[in-house]
Each structure stands twice: as C-alpha cells, then as structure tokens.
Homo-oligomer: A and B are copies of this chain.
Amino acid sequence: MEQNDLELMLDQLKNALERDDLAAAANIIEAMRPADQAEVFAELDNEQQSLLLPEIAPADSADILEELDDEQVAELIATLSTDEIIRIVDQMEPDEAADLLGDITPAQAEAVLSRLEDPDEVRPLLLHADESAGGLMTTEYLALRRRMTAAEAIEAIRRWHPSEETIYYLFVVDQFGRLSGVLNLRRLIVANPAARIMEIMEPEAISVAADVDQEEAARIMTRYDLLALPVVDENGILLGVITFDDVIDVLEEEATEDIQRLGGAQPLERAYLDTSPVIITRKRMGWLLLLFITATLTGSVMRIYQEDLQTVVALAIFIPLLIGTGGNAGAQTTTVIIRALATGDVEPGDALRVWWQEARVGLLLGLGMALVAFLRAITWEPSAALALTVAVSILALVLWATGVGSLLPLVASRLGIDPALVSGPLMSTLVDATGLFIYFTIARLILRL
C-alpha cells in the first residue's frame, strides 16, 4: 500500500477511535495486509492499542503481534487478560507464539500454554535459545514418509492447512523421524501418482543442528537459495523448519546491529523513533565514556611532549589533520573487513592475506597522502623540515592505521568477540594516541628537538 494510503487509513482509524467506535476501527484494520496493519497499529498510542486489540479478530491480532517489535508486544500483552492472550496465540504461527511466550512471565506463559489448542506445536520450540536455528524454526511443517505414493502425498497436503510460508518444500522422514530427503511441490505434481516419495525426492537435503547460530543458518539458506531449511537433532531427527521470511529478517537485523555497532552504539531493540531518548542515551553512553577514556591517552601523550609543543607551536596545528587521516584510513579498512567477515568473504584464517592486502593499500594511500600533506604544510608554514615531518608522519600513520584496522577485527573474530564491537570509533581512538607518539618521535628526529 502506498504511504499516502496508509496515512489516510491512519486518519480514519484515529477518527473512529475518537468516536469510541471500536467496531469501525477494527474493521479498518482487518481490511489491510499484515505488514500495513502493524505499521498503522504501531502509530496509535499505548492506551488506544490496548483498547483496540481485543476488538480485532484474533487472526488479525496475531498477524499484528507477529510484525511488532518484541518490546512493544511485551508491553501490549501485559494489558490483556489470559483468555484474550490465548485466543490470539492460538492463531499465531508456532515459532512466533514461542517467541511471545518467552517475553511474558513464566507463570503466565504456562497458563497460556496449557490451554492452547495445540500446545505440542509450541512447547518444543521453547527449549531453544532465541538466536539459534532452533529458536528460529517452526514446527508447522508436513513431513512425508518415504514409502508414501505421490497421490497419497497430494492427499495429505489437501487435508493439511498450513500457513503460506511452510508449503514450498516438503521434507521426507524415515520411520524413526530422521530427515531423509526433500521434495519440491512442483516435482510432486508432475510425478506419476503411483511413484513412491523415496523415488522422486532429492535424497541429499541440506540441514542444520538446532544449536547453530541463526546467522549461520541464514548464511546457508542464502548461499544455496533455499526457501526452507530443516533443523535436526544430533541423531538426524527432523525437529522443525526455518522459512525464508525469517531469514530475511535475521539478515536485516544483523546488518542493522553491525551498522549501529560500527557507529559505536549498542544496537537498539526497537525502531528508532519508538525508542525513548533515555534508552538511546544508555545505549550510547557506555561507548562514549570508554572512547573518552581511551582519548585521554591522547591527552597524556601530548602532555609528555608539552615542551616540544611550546617550542614549535606549529606542530599542534597539524595534529587534527594527522590523527584525522589516520583514523579515516583505519576506519576504511575496518569497515570493509568487518563486512567481509559478516558475508563470509573473509575468514579469520585469512589474517595474513588480509594484512598483506592492506599493507600494499596502506603504502599506496600513505605515499599519496604524504605528497599532498607536504604541499599543504609547506604553503602553511615555510619550513621544509616541518613539512617533511608531517609527510613522513602521515605515511607512517596510514600504514599503521590500515595494519591495526585490518588485524583488530580478525583477532576479535578469532577470540569470539563480535568484530563490529572493536569497530571504527575504538580503532580510531587507539590510532589517535599511538599516532601522536609516531608524530612526535618523527618530529624529534627530523626537527632535532
């Protein structure tokens, strides 16, 4: 739906709510697509949301809750009665229902769970960590048996009423429930009705273990262009299926987290404009303080060389230029490496190749910048010695920054730390302090201070 249409809908919805006409408001919501429903619903204030939600058909309420951020859902669900929660959760997909139950108190979750229509679909999903393949999978899939015929399989599909996402691949299990193949729906339709599933299936299905990280599962699905990825336990028994819609969400979420961390802030859990300034401040203050403390190192270095600065005040003029260039060169390197690690283009084991790549790039960049810096310096302060100091320093700094910038994320990754955490700001603050050492050392050598 176009943005303008959505705003029109929102106006009509708010009008209906101001007239206290909850039925009309519910009708407006129910006529929309799930993603639009959630967007319009999220624009209402908390009080309006809790009033309206019980009036909306449970299937639509379920769609809306599936699309909203976890924190918003938790706030909203706290205002509903257990009966209302049950009506809605019964309409949710099992994986989304499990996520929701994980966000409310254990006692309430148990109360809801025990009275669901089909608690056995949801219960096993509660066992897995939120960010693992098991936490991402759904139990709503149709497992065909190896000895079924194509006609029997089609009949099984007719009797079964899945949600849209889960139909495109059909997984095949043996008598112990172990995954033994995969079949796409088109192949099933085209097959001879009397053919056995085991004859028409693809026997080598790609699968993942339940405790694999969700990002890893997403990478596998992207790599092999899979619409659905089966999740198995240590014995190869089929536990659930991850569908493509979840993968896109995981990839987007991980890219957002990486970008926010690169900017030196902890990732936000919900949409930016829906997050309170106090929470945003908390997410940023820690980093800002840590970087401040690292930056005081730079001050300490300057205090050591304070006498040199008093002798040649002009040295101070080039400090922002030098540490700026070092920081920028380092940031260019770190961001490229972090993204290459995230997309799998680079592995921690490639450290030596990466360093060699960056050493050559650093040399080229450093020589270019040194030339420019020399020309700039000599026109500012007519001292060849000072200009040479600046030029040599900038070459050394760029080489140093690209080296640190390339190895820091790889080391972090090898140590199991998210490389985006040792990101731009930390790297550039580190390069600032060490860069000043390099600058003053070169200055003392060349200017004989």
Contacts and interface: CB of A to CB of B under 8 A. Distances in A.
Interface of A: 3, 33-35, 154, 157-158, 162, 164-165, 167-168, 184-186, 189-190, 222-225, 227, 244-245, 247-248, 251-252, 255-256, 258-260, 262-265, 268, 271-273, 277-278, 280-281, 284-285, 287-289, 291-292, 295-296, 298-299, 302-303, 306, 309-310, 313, 316-321, 323-325, 328-329, 331-340, 343, 345-347, 350, 353-354, 357, 360-361, 364-365, 368-369, 372-373, 376, 380, 424-425, 429, 432, 436
Contacts of A157: 186, 189-190
Contacts of A337: 272
11 contacts: A35-B225, A168-B168, A255-B339, A264-B331, A264-B335, A277-B364, A281-B365, A288-B332, A296-B321, A298-B324, A313-B313
Contacts of A436: 320
Nearest to A244: B244
How many monomers of this protein are in the complex? 2
Contact of A299 (B264, B299, B306, B320): B320
A318 B360 CA distance: 34
In the complex, the 8 A-B pairs of residues with the closest C-beta atoms, listed nearest first: A263-B335, A277-B360, A255-B255, A298-B320, A281-B364, A225-B245, A295-B324, A272-B340
A129 to B, nearest CB: 22
Nearest to A356: B277
Given A227-B227, A259-B335, A285-B365, A154 B189 contact: yes
Given A273-B345, A292-B376, 10 more contacts: A222-B248, A262-B262, A263-B424, A265-B335, A271-B340, A273-B346, A281-B364, A287-B328, A299-B320, A302-B316
Contacts of A224: 33-35
Contact of A336 (B263, B296, B347, B429): B263
A328 B247 contact: no
Given A292-B325, A357-B273, A424-B424, A320 B319 contact: yes
B328 A288 contact: yes
Contacts of A277: 357, 360-361, 364
Nearest to A263: B335
A184 B168 CA distance: 10
Contacts of A287: 328, 332
Contact of A265 (B223, B255, B332): B332
Contacts of A334: 263
A365 B256 contact: no
Contacts of A248: 222, 247-248, 251
A331 B365 contact: no
Nearest to A381: B303
A153 B236 CA distance: 38
B339 A317 contact: no
Nearest to A306: B313
Contacts of A346: 272-273
Nearest to A368: B285
Contacts of A316: 302, 309, 316, 319
